[in-house]
Chain A
Amino acid sequence: MFEARGLMVFYENMLALNNVSLTCGKDRIIGVFGANSAGKSTLMYTLSGIMSDIRTKEEMAGGERITIRGQVIFEGQDISELKPSKRARAGIILCPERRRIFPESTVMENLMIGAYLANSRQTSETLDYVLRIFSPLVRISKRLGGFLSGGEQQMLAIGRALMAQPKLLLLDEPLLGLSPIIQYMLAKSIKEIRDERGTSIIVSEQYARPIMPIIDYGYILENGSAVVDGTNRELMDNPDVKSAYFGS
């Protein structure tokens, strides 16, 4: 359903993504793991198309020259040249790193902004669903986004992404800066979303421990290259992955 072939991204002369290919079938959760500077965010930006936007901005400001090569294929169509807004209409929704909540809108307004692409029936149905799986949001639905705790913000960010009716949900570091309890709770919710709504999910993370059990297939990024890939069982049994991500 979703496939990226030979993605290469250069920031000026620095190679940020080196020939990364990944596939994501329907109803699957794909994990992308890597340390800081491994290229996770670059990969997510490239898949969602934001990278071409960043490239244009840098070009206009005379900053770094960004080169993007490779193909992104979604439902049999080559979308490599598509703008991020077009990709979102096609159903690829990015839940960005560090959440990017609209701080001066309330929780409910944030969710409604996410529902821009949905019709009213989908909106009310998804809203019910989001408030059910992320029940803490009900109590604080009138509060401003900027005053939420990290965990609440992350729930809101995922909820906002769900409101856009994703076929493929890209979660960029959803566990960043959260306590272990909330990390496991969110990982459980991500799995629920896949099971109950049939959304394909690609999640990038540094903390493999909570995410690894819920994924179907995973890729390990290192310095921009996908060095290891396999099912979650294979990855967990891999001695290198074990020592790097599970500390044993």
Chain B
Amino acid sequence: MSEPAKDRRKERLDRGIKVRTDGIYAISHWTEIAYLLTPRLLFIVGLLLAPVILIPFPYWQRVLSIVCIFALLAISFDFLANYVGLVSLGGALYMGVGGYSAALLNSHFGLPPLVTVPVSTVLGGAICTVLLLPCLPLRGVYFAIVSLMFPLLAGRIIEALDVFGGTDGIMGVDGFSSGWVEQYVLICSVLAAVFILRRMVSEDVGLVFTGVKDNDQAVKASGINITTYKAFGVFISSMLGCLGGACLAHIYMWAGISQFALDFSIIPIAATVVGGGGTLIGSVIGCIILVPISEFLRDFGTLRIAVYAIILTAFIVFKSEGIMMYGTRKYEQFERWVRI
């Protein structure tokens, strides 16, 4: 940044078109409609076309599925942390519960993947919510620690009691009928999750969520039971995680203890930081960047984690607001020098 002149400062102003499109007059001219729709359509169409573009690279099609699974986890983390105020490290728990329930439903009851995925989404969401229910009065780092313990606990219990296939996991789970089904189920889930949650947090229920995050005592004083709302928030977020877990079990045709691995808790948080917390889309963008990077870095062998950590650190130090916040600002505002 160049040293500014003593009698000038840089001013930030909303673009005219941003101000015009804020109101209901957005539909009065095609440029304004385009201004509003372009970034959204770019995101939607881009995601929907990605599998087609990647036809020559089947390996990267699979990476795209993994990106989507991490994106679901990242959305669930972002929603819970930045709208409900519960910092959850339970991504691995959601992942494992979703994965195991889909695998069990498929191998024991013979249900096809297109049934097990939605069923284990809801069922897994309910199981995770019940598990986390006693911890809901906790806040901040305490909730984070407890939610981190659950996946570790679940993995050890399965190992020790030798239930659900023990260390071998549940094998012989049906895969999706084709790669296209796999990718479009995931992409449509990500898109639905982002846009439904974005709408939800601007409705009344989202207002209560934000209130619980900012000052839970004031919300209690308004006669609202905050535990109910927190439980609801955890249910939504764990549903998203379990959806990802169920899909992962069908993609790998296997569910095992490694679905409780801490990667599923940590990478979504990193993606949210990179993409910009509190924007929901930002966490998806974070995953689109981070997961392929970690694939590229396989060439570095064991140095992979080191390079990954350096990239993350650089992001946090130099652009801690996140890509999405930065992009939104550039899109909506312009800067100019003014005399003081």
Contact = CB atoms under 8 A, between A and B. Distances in A.
Interface in B321-335: 321-322, 325-326, 329
B12 interface: yes
Contact of B12 (A8, A13, A61, A69): A13
Given A8-B340, A62-B326, A69-B6, A13 B13 contact: yes
A104 to B, nearest CB: 16
Interface residues of A, number: 11
A13 B11 contact: yes
A67 B9 CA distance: 7
A88 B235 CA distance: 50
B312 to A, nearest CB: 15
Interface residues of B, number: 15
B186 to A, nearest CB: 30
A60 B320 contact: yes
Interface in A35-76: 60-63, 65, 67, 69
Given A60-B320, A61-B320, A10 B9 contact: yes
Contacts of A13: 11-13
Contacts of B11: 13
A68 B243 CA distance: 50
Nearest to B322: A62
Nearest to B325: A62
A60 B325 CA distance: 12
A60 B321 CA distance: 7
B220 to A, nearest CB: 22
Interface in B66-95: none
Contacts of A8: 340
A156 B123 CA distance: 56
B321 A65 contact: no
Contacts of B12: 12-13, 65
Contacts of B326: 62
A8 B8 CA distance: 12
B298 interface: no
A62 B9 contact: no
Task: Name the prevailing secondary structure of the A interface residues.
Answer: mixed
A43 B10 CA distance: 21
Interface in A1-55: 8, 10, 12-13
A12 B13 CA distance: 9
A13 B337 CA distance: 12
Contacts of B325: 62
A65 B6 contact: no
Nearest to B1: A59
A65 B340 CA distance: 15
Interface in A61-108: 61-63, 65, 67, 69
Contact of A61 (B9, B321, B340): B321
A138 B12 CA distance: 52
Contacts of A63: 321
B10 to A, nearest CB: 7
Interface in B1-29: 6-7, 9-13
A62 B328 CA distance: 11
A60 B1 CA distance: 14
Nearest to B319: A62
A67 B5 CA distance: 12
A60 B13 CA distance: 20
A179 B50 CA distance: 67
B322 to A, nearest CB: 8
Nearest to A6: B340
Contacts of A10: 9
Contacts of B321: 60-63
Contacts of B322: 62
A63 B321 CA distance: 8
User: Which of A10, A60, A62, A65 gathers the greatest number of chain B CB atoms within 10 Å?
Assistant: A62
Contacts of A12: 12
A210 B340 CA distance: 37
11 contacts: A8-B340, A13-B12, A13-B13, A62-B321, A62-B322, A62-B329, A65-B10, A67-B9, A69-B7, A69-B9, A69-B340
Interface of B: 6-7, 9-13, 319-322, 325-326, 329, 340
Interface of A: 8, 10, 12-13, 60-63, 65, 67, 69
Given A10-B9, A69-B7, 14 more contacts: A8-B340, A12-B12, A13-B11, A13-B12, A13-B13, A60-B321, A61-B320, A62-B321, A62-B322, A62-B325, A62-B326, A65-B10, A69-B6, A69-B340
Chain A to chain B: the 5 pairs with minimum beta-carbon distance, closest first: A62-B321, A67-B9, A62-B325, A60-B320, A61-B321
